[in-house]
């Protein structure tokens, strides 16, 4: 049986009727004092730190504590409690965890945490069909967090080697036959001192920056096209890389042309006489106006294909087509003479 006779209350220096809050506070105080980072190479402190954590694992959990109180031992033992240097305590401090407990110990500077990549950002950009046709360069003004240029993201105005312990984090004093090592009270064992918070970022390591980016939009971009600007997202934390910026393209509706994939459609008004007799008509394209030959006897709704007058496909580079759709326009104020003529037209059907 993995029983223990250790008095966890004694280890944490609290009374048997201490509240959970008192236990937690006592644990925090002791954990800071005996933390291996504060006492490098100190085996006694290391042992003490283990004991404190073992005690808190039981007393910090009301269920385990009740069992311990009843049986004077714990059936749980300290298993699962290994490698405390990796901060894997096997129990929960709540949402904020280790950082919360040791935040003041770490002096508020987050130098010991793992690098975290910045967030990706998303924005959208409206372009006209003409811009989509030729490709364009647009300006995007963006306000985002960037790594503070003054402190390089550390949050500290400057970091100096602790003069008290000369960077070792430990002070050794001779007392009789013994050399007593203790944590440097000046730097609290860190070996260096952050001299003031960076004024530019107030210690956060990150500043807000508004910047105007030139964004190149390739020919053929369509609504739903997405551009990626690497590294233009949010700032990374603890030296992590910044995120990326994604720009969603939105092509605005056009007053004349309707787009369908790489093809465009345009309605061309045609006079009755032109439709009947044929002629040359002007057709708008995204490249300017072109003249098209209209054969005699053209029906309304007839589609004419203008090859290659559509948009380029951004992937293949192949050009779409333009379709000119004939719409016969009927005159409103007609004289008797034209009426007579139209009666003759009747006979042609
Ligand atoms: Zn700064
Ligand atoms: Zn020091």
Ligand nearest to the CA of 185: 2
**For the chain, what percent of residues have pLDDT higher than 90?**
43
Distance 207 CA to ligand 1 centre (A): 7
Domain 121-152+202-251 CATH assignment equals 2.60.260.20: yes
How does pLDDT run across 193-252, given as a tens digit for each residue?
777 788 888 888 889 999 999 999 999 999 999 999 999 999 887 778 899 999 999 999
Q: What is the mean pLDDT of residues 268-274?
A: 94
Distance CA 57, CA 77 (A): 9
Q: How far is the CA of 111 from the centre of ligand 1 (A)?
A: 13
Ligand 1 centroid distance, CA of 188 (Å): 23
Q: Is 50 helix (H, G, I), strand (E, B) or coil?
A: helix
Q: Would you say 243 and 121 are in contact if contact means Cβ atoms under 8 Å apart?
A: yes
Residue 159 has pLDDT above 90, yes or no: no
Which pLDDT band holds residue 267 (cuts at 50, 70, 90)? very high
Residue 110: CB atoms within 10 A of its CB come to 19
Using DSSP bridges, classify how beta strands 121-127 and 245-251 pair: parallel, antiparallel or unpaired.
parallel
User: pLDDT value at position 102?
Assistant: 40
Distance 197 CA to ligand 1 centre (A): 8
Å from CA of 60 to ligand 2 middle = 32
For the segment(s) 258-346, the CATH number from 3.90.1150.10, 2.40.50.180, 2.60.260.20, 3.40.190.10 is: 2.60.260.20
Measured from the alpha carbon of residue 160, the closest ligand is 2
User: How many angstroms separate the alpha carbon of residue 125 from the centre of ligand 2?
Assistant: 54
Tens-place pLDDT, residues 304-343 = 999 999 999 988 989 999 999 999 999 888 888 888 888 8
- Say if CB 32 and CB 18 are below 8 A apart: no
Each domain of the chain, given as residue ranges in start order, spans: 8-102, 121-152+202-251, 156-197, 258-346
The architecture that CATH gives domain 8-102 is Orthogonal Bundle (1.10)
Q: 230 C-alpha vs ligand 1 centroid, how far in Å?
A: 23
Pairing mode, strands 322-329 and 303-306: antiparallel
Q: Tell me the CA–centroid distance for residue 40 and ligand 1, in Å.
A: 29
Q: How confident is the model at residue 112 (pLDDT cuts 50, 70, 90)?
A: very low
With a cut of 90, say whether residue 47 has pLDDT above it.
no
Give me ligand 2 centre to Cα 202, in Å: 24
pLDDT for 77 beyond 90: no
Predicted confidence band of residue 97 (pLDDT cuts 50, 70, 90): very low
Ligand number nearest CA of 152 is 1
Average pLDDT over residues 155-177: 78
What is the whole-number distance in angstroms between the Cα of residue 188 and the centre of ligand 2?
6
Kindly give the distance from the C-alpha atom of residue 256 to the centroid of ligand 1, in angstroms, as a whole number: 53
Task: Indicate which ligand has the atom closest to the C-alpha of 187.
Answer: 2
Give the number of whichever ligand sits closest to the CA of residue 149: 1
Could you check whether 121-152+202-251 and 258-346 share the same CATH topology? yes
Ligand approaching nearest to the C-alpha of 207: 1
Vertex 93, ends 87 and 98: CA angle to 5°? 40
Q: Which residue has the higher pLDDT, 260 or 96?
A: 260
CA 38 to ligand 2 center in whole angstroms? 10
- The CATH number of 156-197 is 2.10.230.10
32 Cα–ligand 2 center, Å = 16
**Is the predicted pLDDT of residue 136 greater than 60, yes or no?**
yes
CA distance 215 to 140: 7
Across the chain, what does the average pLDDT equal? 82
Do the beta carbons of residue 150 and residue 205 sit within 8 Å?
no
What would the mean pLDDT of 122-145 be, rounded to a whole number?
Answer: 94
pTM of the full predicted structure?
0.55
Structure-token pair, residue 312: 């380029």
Residue 328 buriedness (CB in 10 A; 0-12 / 13-18 / 19+): middle
Split at pLDDT 50, 70, 90, the class of 72 is low
- Distance, CA 147 to ligand 1 centroid (Å)? 8
Distance 198 CA to ligand 2 centre (A): 21
Distances (CA, A) of 269 to 187, 265, 281: 84, 13, 9
C-alpha 87: how far from chain center: 27
């Amino acid at each position: 049986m993995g029983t223990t006779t250790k008095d966890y209350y004694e280890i944490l220096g609290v009374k048997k009727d201490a509240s959970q809050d008192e236990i937690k506070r006592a644990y925090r105080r002791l954990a800071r004092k005996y933390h291996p980072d504060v006492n490098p190479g100190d085996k006694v402190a290391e042992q003490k730190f283990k004991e404190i954590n073992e005690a808190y694992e039981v007393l910090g959990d009301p269920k385990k504590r009740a069992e311990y109180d009843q049986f004077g031992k714990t059936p749980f033992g300290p298993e699962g409690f290994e490698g405390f240097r990796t901060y894997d305590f096997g129990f929960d401090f709540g949402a904020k965890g280790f950082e919360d407990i040791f935040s003041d110990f770490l002096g508020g500077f987050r130098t010991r945490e793992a690098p975290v990549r910045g967030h990706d950002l998303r924005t959208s950009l409206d372009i006209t069909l003409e811009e989509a046709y030729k490709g364009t360069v647009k300006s995007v003004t963006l306000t985002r967090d960037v790594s503070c240029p003054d402190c390089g993201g550390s949050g500290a105005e400057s970091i100096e080697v602790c003069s008290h312990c000369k960077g070792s984090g430990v002070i050794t004093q001779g007392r009789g036959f013994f050399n007593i090592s203790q944590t440097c009270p000046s730097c609290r064992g860190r070996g260096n001192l952050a001299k003031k918070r960076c004024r530019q970022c107030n210690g956060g390591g990150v500043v807000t920056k508004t910047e105007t980016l030139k964004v190149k939009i390739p020919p053929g971009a369509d609504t739903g096209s997405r551009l990626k600007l690497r590294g233009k997202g949010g700032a990374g934390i603890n030296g992590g890389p910044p995120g990326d910026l994604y720009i969603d393209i939105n092509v605005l509706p056009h007053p004349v042309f309707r787009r369908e994939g790489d093809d465009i459609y345009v309605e061309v008004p045609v006079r009755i006489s032109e439709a009947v007799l044929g002629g040359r008509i002007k057709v708008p394209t995204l490249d300017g106006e072109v003249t098209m030959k209209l054969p005699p006897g053209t029906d309304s709704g007839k589609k004419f294909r203008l090859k290659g007058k559509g948009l380029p496909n951004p992937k293949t580079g192949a050009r779409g087509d333009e379709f000119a759709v004939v719409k016969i326009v009927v005159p409103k104020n007609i004289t008797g003479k034209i009426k007579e003529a139209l009666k003759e037209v009747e006979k042609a059907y």
